[in-house]
Structure 1
Amino acid sequence: MKADPAAQRRLLDLAEVDAELGRVLHRRTTMPELAEVAAAEQAVRGGTDARVAVQTQLDDLDREVARQEKEIDAVRSREERDRSLLAGGTMGSKQLTDIEHELATLLRRRSVLEDDLLELMERREAVEMGLQHAVVELDKATAALADATSRRDENLVDLDTTQARRDAERVKVVAALPEPLLALYERKRSRGGIGASLLRARRCGACQIEIDRRELAQIKAAAADEVIEHEECGAILVRTAESGL
């Protein structure tokens, strides 16, 4: 293939633009903030689950405390009734004995219930402290997520700006290239390599391999408008005064 040497040199501008676009793409998928956001999101999910679990435990204890207090109140009410009956002095001895026995039973029952309530309250205090800790940890995770997300989004804005500028530059460069030369360049690039590079000091700018004598002799003998492809990596070799030919 033949192409004007000036058009071939414009391939270097296109290759530079494509290289930066490639770096932008790589940055989009590998920036550390992506991993930070993913880790922070996982921490927030874990923190939320932990807080819900502790809150559920606390709610269960609150219901148990309320049930226990209600039962204690009921026992106290029966105690007050029995004391009122005893104070009235209108019942026979057998009834008085029965009421005294019931009152003694109620006192023992209330003592057990109050001990159980104290234990419940101690457990509740411990769980409430656990809830406070879970809330603090969740707040930390949420703040870390917000920070990582903000930094990620700032980077994405910068990348979007760079890509938009480079996309516009690419359109201009491509418009100035002959179609056959551009098509060859795109085929080279589509294979995962560099489409075109400068031949500098007898070295390929794409693969950094020094051109051997045989191939270099062929390049020297080629016409200025001949499109040269490096035998080793396939990139289009653009010749300038820096090529050392």
Structure 2
Amino acid sequence: MNAAPADQLRLLDLAATDTRRTQADAARRNPPQAPRLRELAADRQALARELGQRQGTVDDLQAELRRIESDVAVVDARRARDNELMRTTSSAKDATAIEHELASLQRRKDDLEETQLDLMERLEAAQAAVDEQQAVITAASDEYALLASAAEQHIAEAAARLEQLTRDRAAVASGIPAALVTLYDKLHERSAGAALVQARTCLGCHMMLTGSDLNVIRQAAEDAVVTCPQCDCILVRTPESGL
């Protein structure tokens, strides 16, 4: 295939635009916040599960505390009844029995209040653990929201760049013969598409041209479209090519 050297030179602008389009598309599909967002999303279930376990401990302690408080109320009611009986009884035997029961009820109340105090201390610690875990979840949620917003902005900006570069590419391609663009597009599927030869080196694959390959390129007509023997992109020759 043959094409004017000036048209071949324009392929470099096309290749540079395609490189920027590839970069913009990659930025659109993979914002820098994505790895951390995936990590936070993966952590969400574990954080919620831990919160549930800690809240379960609080619920169990609260239920046990309510049971103890109920038992204390029962003991207090019985003590009040026995005290009333003590004031009204005229039987020494009954009075002795009531005194024994009051002593037993006092010991029971002392035990219950000790247990109650222990439960309250444990409940305070358990609630603090819940609050701590909730703070971790809130911080993770806030971080996720901030990163998600930043990622959306990054994607939008990259998409806008991609759209503009696509228009730029169309403008560049319109100034190059269609057959040459078609060949470039085909080669671009597996290489840079087109690259400058500089100091006998293909800047598409950065391999130096030597031996018979270099002789073939030297002997090619100025308007001949030649390709790199290594990466198969179109070699754009200029006075700096060192041929």
- TM-score, normalised to structure 2, is 0.88
Per-residue deviation, residues 30-55 of structure 1 (Å, max 9, x unmatched): 55422222233344444333333222
Q: Residue 17 of structure 1 aligns to which amino acid in structure 2?
A: T
Distance 2:170 2:81 in 1: 96
Asked if structure 1 preserves the Cα contact closer than 8 Å seen for 2:31 and 2:155, the reply is no
Per-residue deviation at 1:195?
Answer: 0.8
Q: Take 1:170 and 1:183, find their aligned partners in 2: how far apart are those partners? A: 14
**Residues 47, 141 of structure 1: 8 Å contact kept:** no
Counterpart of 1:52?
52
Structure 2 counterpart of 1:160 = 159
119-128 vs 19-28, which moves further? 19-28
Render the CA deviation track for 1:63-111: whole Å, top value 9, x for unaligned. Answer: 2111211111111011101110111125x44443433333222222212
Aligned counterparts of 2:51 and 2:68: Cα–Cα separation in 1: 25
How far apart are residue 28 of structure 1 and its match? 4.4
Rounded to whole Å, the distance in 2 between the matches of 1:199 and 1:184 is: 18
Q: Is residue 112 of structure 1 aligned with residue 111 of structure 2?
A: yes
Deviations 1:151-176 (A, max 9, x none): 33332233122211111112223334
Higher mean displacement: 76-85 or 202-211: 202-211
**Unaligned segments of structure 1, at least 5 residues:** none
Structure 2 Cα separation of the partners of residues 127 and 143 of structure 1: 24
Deviates more, 1:21-30 or 1:124-133: 21-30
**1:206 matched to 2:216:** no
Aligned to 2:122: 123
User: Contact 1:185/1:195 (CA < 8 Å) preserved in 2?
Assistant: yes
List aligned pairs for 1:188-203, cutoff 5 A. Answer: 188-191=187-190, 193-203=191-201
User: What secondary structure, in the 3-state scheme, does the structure 2 residue paired with 1:229 have?
Assistant: coil
Asked if the contact 2:65–2:116 (Cα under 8 Å) also holds between the matched residues in 1, the reply is yes
- Provide the C-alpha distance between the structure 2 equivalents of 1:176 and 1:50, rounded to a whole number of angstroms: 63
2:132 paired with 1:133: yes
Q: Tell me the equivalent position of 1:143.
A: 142
Q: 1:235 aligns with which of 224, 233, 236?
A: 233
Structure 1 stretches of 4+ moved >6 Å: none
Identity within the alignment, %: 33
The root-mean-square deviation of aligned C-alpha atoms, in Å, is 2.3
Letter in 2 for 1:69: E
TM-score calculated relative to the size of structure 1: 0.87
Does the CA-based 8 Å contact 2:28-2:156 persist in structure 1? no
**2:61 corresponds to:** 61
Q: Which amino acid aligns with 1:223?
A: A
Distance 1:57 1:28 in 2: 45
Q: Distance in 2 between matches of 1:187 and 1:239?
A: 20
Shift of 1:124: 0.7
Instruction: Judge which range, 42-51 or 180-189, deviates more.
Output: 42-51
Count residues in correspondence. 243
